[in-house]
Amino acid sequence: GQQLNQSPQSMFIQEGEDVSMNCTSSSIFNTWLWYKQDPGEGPVLLIALYKAGELTSNGRLTAQFGITRKDSFLNISASIPSDVGIYFCAGPPPEGAQKLVFGQGTRLTINP
């Protein structure tokens, strides 16, 4: 079953606003990944986090690996129309397999 809980499930914001979303787990994850999916496309990797406490930026995106290893957040600053899409957190499950499990996703809608 799903091991990553993402919130919020959806967001409706104005262009230019900052966005914050997070992902939590009841289990420890040693890697946190943030992907974006556009309609009808596969997910694209935005940021990868490999160390507890790590804070990493990719342009207007910033993500952090929580100290407890049970959460991560993604911030988007000064949103623009092309930020619209679904954002997923993901990570390898605690049992250490190669595979990834995904959160439920946060659907971002931007009003111009």
Partner 1 sequence: GAVVSQHPSRVICKSGTSVKIECRSLDFQATTMFWYRQFPKQSLMLMATSNEGSKATYEQGVEKDKFLINHASLTLSTLTVTSAHPEDSSFYICSARPRGVANYGYTFGSGTRLTVV
User: Under the rule (CB under 8 A), what is the footprint of partner 1?
Assistant: 2, 31, 33, 35, 40-45, 48, 50, 88, 91-92, 97-105, 107
Smaller CB separation from partner 1, 26 or 99: 99
Smaller CB separation from partner 1, 48 or 84: 48
Reference 20, options 89, 112, 91; nearest CA is 89
Smaller CB separation from partner 1, 14 or 26: 26
Minimum distance, C-beta of residue 73 to partner 1, in the bound complex (Å): 18
Smaller CB separation from partner 1, 12 or 15: 12
DSSP labels, the chain: ---EEEE-SEEEEETT--EEEEEEESS--S-EEEEEE-TTS--EEEEEE-STT-EEEETTEEEEE-TTSSEEEEEE-S--GGG-EEEEEEE--TT--S--EE---EEEEEE-
Minimum distance, C-beta of residue 42 to partner 1, in the bound complex (Å): 4
Minimum distance, C-beta of residue 89 to partner 1, in the bound complex (Å): 10
